[in-house]
Structure 1
Amino acid sequence: MNSDSLERTVADVAIIGAGPAGAVAAALLRKAGRSVLVLERQHFPRFSIGESLLPQSMAYLEEAGMLQAVVEAGFQHKNGAYFVYRDQTASFDFRDKHSPGWGTTYQVERAVFDDVLIRCAAAQGADVRFGHTVRAVQTGATPVLDVADEADRTYQVEARFVLDASGFGRVLPRLLNLETPTRMPARAAIFTHVRDGLALDAADRNKICVATHPERRDVWFWMIPLAGGRSSVGCVAEASFLDVQEAQRDATLRALIQQEPTLNRLIGAAPFLMPVRQIGGYAANVARLHGPGYALLGNAGEFLDPVFSSGVTIALRSAHLAAHTLNRQLDGATVDWSADYDVPLRKGIDTFRAFVERWYTGELQDIIYYPEQTPSIRRMICAVLAGYAWDESNPYVADPVRRLNALHEVCKAG
C-alpha cells in the first residue's frame, strides 16, 4: 500500500511505551499544553520486574501530578535497604542521607504501579493506545512512525518529536541500529513472588534486603516485601551460572535461597506464587541517546544492573530532562540535546555504574560492611543508594570512581 494512502494521526509528541518513563514524560508534556500520543504494544496491567523504587523518584512523580494516586494505591512503604553477607549486616536509612529531598518511597507491584501512572497521564489528556506496535520510523524534522494495531490495521503517526520509552523492547535502537556494546558483563536474574508470612519482627518490611551468596560474592539475592504479605525474591549472577532449563528454574531458585542463611530463615519453603521467571542480557547501551527528531528514555537507552534498583529512577530522570528540553524546543528555543539531555543524564548513570562495578568486584561490599564508618561519608553513600546520583555537592557523585577507590583503600587498610 502506498504510504500516502494510509490514515495519518498528528501529534506534537509521540511516545513509544507506556511504562514509567513514557507516562511521566506524557504528563509533563501535557502540563505544557502539548498534544501527546502514547503507543504501547502490550495491554495494562501487565507484569514487570523492578519493584523497589528509590526516593529520588518521588520528586518526578510529584512534578508529573501523580503523587496522590501513588500514595493512595496502598503500596508497601520503603525507607531504606539492608545488606547481608554471611554474618555481616549493614542497614541504610534513606532519611539519613547527604542530599536534600525525599527519604522514603514505595516497594510496588509494577503491574499496578505502571497502570496507575499511565492512567494518570491519560486523565491529563494524553491519547494512550494499548495494543499498538511501532514497526518503522522515519526520523527528521517531522518524524513519521508506521504503526499497526492488534487487528493489523496500519496507520502513520506524524509528530514534531518522538520519545522512545519502550524499555527492554528498545524499539528505536533496533529500528535505527543504535545498539552498541555495553561495558557490563552478561548477567541474568531468576525471580518469583512468594507468600512470605513474615512475622512483624522477622524482618524490616520497609527495606529491601540485598544478600550476597556466602560462597560467591558476585552472586546476590533480593527480597522486596510488597503489600499484602507478598515478597519479590530473586537471584542475580553471571548468565552461565543461571543457565538452566525452564523446568528447572523453580528448583534452582529454591536451592539457591536455601544456601543463603538469612533468606532461608525468612522464606525457606514458602510457596512460590508464580512460576520462576528469567531475564538475561538486560545490560544495554546505545551509541547516542538522541538524534534528528527523537530521544531515548530510560532502559531504551541504557540499563546497568538491578543491584541498586536504579532502573526506574534513571527512567524518570530521563523523562524529566527530556520533557523540559523538548518543551523549550517546541516553544521555539534552540536546544542542544547533547548538553541539555545526554550529558546530564549520563552523569547520574555513570555514578550508578561506578557503584555497580565495585559491587561485583567486592570493593563496594567491603565499604558497606566496614565497621568504622564515618557518619558524613556514610550519608554520602546513602544518598547515592537513595537515587541522588545527580547531586554533585556529594563527592561520590562529583568524582565517584576516584572517591570510591580511595575509600576502599582506607577500608582495606583498616
Structure 2
Amino acid sequence: MQTRFDVAVIGAGPSGAVAAALLNKQGFSVCVLEKQHFPRFVIGESLLPYCMVMLEEAGFAETVRAEPSFQLKNGAAFTWGSRYTYFDFTDKFSDGPGTTFQVRRGIFDKILIDEAAKQGVEVRFGHGVTAFDNSGDTALLSVETDGGESYTLEADFVLDASGYGRVLPRLLDLETPSSLPPRVAHFTHIDDHITGDKFDRNKILITTHPTHRDVWLWTIPFGDGRSSIGVVGTPDKLAGDSETVLKKFALECPMLAEVLADAQWDNDFPYRSIQGYSANVKTLHGKHFALLGNAAEFLDPVFSSGVTIALHSAKLAAEVLGRQLKGQAADWQAEFAEPLMQGVDTFRTYVNGWYDLSFQNAIYAPNRSPEISRMISSILAGYAWDTANPFVEKHAQRLAALAALVGPLRLV
C-alpha cells in the first residue's frame, strides 16, 4: 500500500472530493482518507447554484445531472403565516448558473468521490486519522483502519475536509466557540404526497413559525415524491424528542399544515437531531495543512450555505496548493483565508439578519424592489463572493439600510 503522496485529504465529502479531483487534474498524487464507508447519511441536502461552477471544474456535473432522484432547484420560497414569497435564482444579479439540485447526500457524496476515484485519486474508506505531525519537512498522518491495522502516511500537504468530524481542529486544538448562539435541528424524510400547484418542488421552502420567528422549518423536495423536513431553533424552544417536536412545529404553520395534509411521516427513515453545529477555528491554515468547509467553520443551515462554502474552499485551496507544490509563491492568508472569509462573512451577515429579523423582514416585505431582489437572489444562490454586488461588497451596511427602509412587519 502506497504511503507517500503529494497531498493527503482527510474526508471524502464534497469539499474533499472536489479538492482531490482538482489537484489530481494538475498532476499531483492525492490520497483521500475517509473513516466511514459510503453511502452514509449526511444532512445538508439543498445545494446552491454556485456549487455547479465547482462541480463543473472538478468534472462531476454531468454525473450529478444524470441522477434521477435529484430534484431540480431554481429558487427559494419563504412563508410566514399567510405571507408567501420566493426568489428565482435564474433572475439574479451575478453571472453564473441559476439552477442546481436538491439531493440525498448519501447518493450525492458517493457520486462525487466515485468520480474522483475514476479520475485517478486514491480513495481509502474505513481509514481514520488519529494523529498529525507537521514538525518536519513533510506531514505525517497516523492512520487506523476499521480492520485494526495502522500505518503512517506521508504527504507534502494535508487538506482537512472532515466536516463535522473536524479532525485537525481537534488534534491541533484549533477549535474556538462560534459567535452564533447554540441551536438544535430535528429532521426526517417523509413521503410528502403533495398535490396541486401551491408547493413548488423546484424550490426549497423555508417556513417561519407564526409566533416564534427565530424558529423555522425547511422542506426540501426530492425527485421521487419524498421530502426532507426539519425544524431549527434554540434548545429551550425545541426541547423534547425529535418526532414530537418536528410534527408539532410543522403543523402549527398554516402552509405546511396544508401542503403536508396527506404526508406519510412514519416510514423507515428515522427521526434525527443535531445541535451545537455552529463552529469556528483559530486559523484556517498552518504548516503543511489547510482546513476546508465545515472542518473550518459552519454557520447555520438557514440559507443552505454549507456545501457552497465547502466547495469554494476546495477550489481556492487547490489553486493555492497547486502553485505551492510547483515551487511557486503561495500566500495562504492572502490567497485562501481572506478570500474565503469574504464570502463566509457575507453569509454570516444575512444569517444574523434572519434571526434578528432585519433580513427576514426584508424577505417578507411586500412590493420588493426588483433590482434589490436580484441582488439578494444572487446571495441566496451562493454568489457571496461577487463583490460587484453591492449587497456583497458592503453587506452589513446595505442590510442595515434595507432593514431601516422596510421596518418591522406584523403577522398577517
Question: Are the aligned partners of 1:208 and 1:222 in contact in 2 as well (CA < 8 Å)?
Answer: yes
User: 2:399 matched to 1:404?
Assistant: yes
Give 2:311's match in structure 1, choosing from 282, 307, 316: 316
Measure, in 2, the Cα distance between the counterparts of 1:66 and 1:269: 36
Let me know the Cα RMSD of the aligned residues: 1.2
Query: What are the residue-to-residue correspondences of 1:371-390 with 2, within 5 Å?
Result: 371-390=366-385
Match of 1:263 in 2: 256
Match of 2:29 in 1: 35
Give 1:86's match in structure 2, choosing from 65, 75, 81: 81
Match of 2:57 in 1: 63
Question: Are the aligned partners of 2:84 and 2:364 in contact in 1 as well (CA < 8 Å)?
Answer: yes
Question: Are the aligned partners of 2:278 and 2:298 in contact in 1 as well (CA < 8 Å)?
Answer: yes
Report the identity percentage: 53
Query: What are the residue-to-residue correspondences of 1:116-265 with 2, within 5 Å?
Result: 116-140=111-135, 141-244=137-240, 248-265=241-258
The worse-fitting range, judged by mean Cα deviation, of 113-122 and 366-375 is 366-375
Match of 1:295 in 2: 290
Question: Are the aligned partners of 2:34 and 2:127 in contact in 1 as well (CA < 8 Å)?
Answer: yes
| 2:363 alignment partner, SS class | helix
User: 2:5 matched to 1:11?
Assistant: yes
Change beyond 3 A, Cα 1:200–1:12: farther
| 1:100 alignment partner, SS class | coil
Structure 1 residue 361, shift from structure 2 partner: 0.7
Give the alignment's TM-score, normalised by structure 1: 0.96
Question: Are the aligned partners of 1:367 and 1:411 in contact in 2 as well (CA < 8 Å)?
Answer: yes
Match of 1:345 in 2: 340
| 2:343 alignment partner, SS class | helix
Query: What are the residue-to-residue correspondences of 1:103-118 with 2, within 5 Å?
Result: 103-118=98-113
Question: Are the aligned partners of 2:130 and 2:142 in contact in 1 as well (CA < 8 Å)?
Answer: yes
Cα deviation code 1:216-250 (max 9, x no counterpart): 10000000000110000000001222232xxx321
Question: Are the aligned partners of 1:8 and 1:156 in contact in 2 as well (CA < 8 Å)?
Answer: no
Measure, in 1, the Cα distance between the counterparts of 2:316 and 2:369: 34
Question: Are the aligned partners of 2:44 and 2:301 in contact in 1 as well (CA < 8 Å)?
Answer: yes
Measure, in 1, the Cα distance between the counterparts of 2:242 and 2:39: 25
Measure, in 2, the Cα distance between the counterparts of 1:404 and 1:81: 19
| 1:303 alignment partner, SS class | coil
Letter in 2 for 1:188: V
| 1:381 alignment partner, SS class | helix
Structure 1 residue 256, shift from structure 2 partner: 1.3
Question: Are the aligned partners of 1:258 and 1:268 in contact in 2 as well (CA < 8 Å)?
Answer: no
Structure 1 residue 125, shift from structure 2 partner: 0.5
Structure 1 residue 394, shift from structure 2 partner: 0.3
Letter in 2 for 1:44: F
Match of 1:370 in 2: 365
Measure, in 2, the Cα distance between the counterparts of 1:67 and 1:144: 33
Measure, in 2, the Cα distance between the counterparts of 1:243 and 1:349: 29
Letter in 1 for 2:242: R
Letter in 2 for 1:36: V
Aligned positions, number: 405
Cα deviation code 1:134-182 (max 9, x no counterpart): 0000014300000000122100010000000000000000000000121
Match of 2:15 in 1: 21
Question: Are the aligned partners of 1:188 and 1:278 in contact in 2 as well (CA < 8 Å)?
Answer: yes
Measure, in 1, the Cα distance between the counterparts of 2:233 and 2:244: 16
Letter in 1 for 2:26: A
Measure, in 1, the Cα distance between the counterparts of 2:290 and 2:50: 22
Measure, in 2, the Cα distance between the counterparts of 1:271 and 1:285: 38
Structure 2: which 5+ residue stretches go unaligned?
none
| 1:307 alignment partner, SS class | helix
Structure 1: which 5+ residue stretches go unaligned?
1-6
Structure 1 residue 412, shift from structure 2 partner: 1.4
Letter in 1 for 2:200: D
Question: Are the aligned partners of 2:161 and 2:291 in contact in 1 as well (CA < 8 Å)?
Answer: yes
Letter in 2 for 1:179: E
Letter in 2 for 1:207: K
Give the alignment's TM-score, normalised by structure 2: 0.96
Change beyond 3 A, Cα 1:113–1:399: same
Structure 1 residue 267, shift from structure 2 partner: 1.6
Question: Are the aligned partners of 1:48 and 1:110 in contact in 2 as well (CA < 8 Å)?
Answer: yes
Change beyond 3 A, Cα 1:227–1:151: same
Structure 1 residue 8, shift from structure 2 partner: 7.0
Question: Are the aligned partners of 1:19 and 1:166 in contact in 2 as well (CA < 8 Å)?
Answer: yes
| 2:399 alignment partner, SS class | helix
Measure, in 2, the Cα distance between the counterparts of 1:18 and 1:185: 29
Match of 1:4 in 2: none
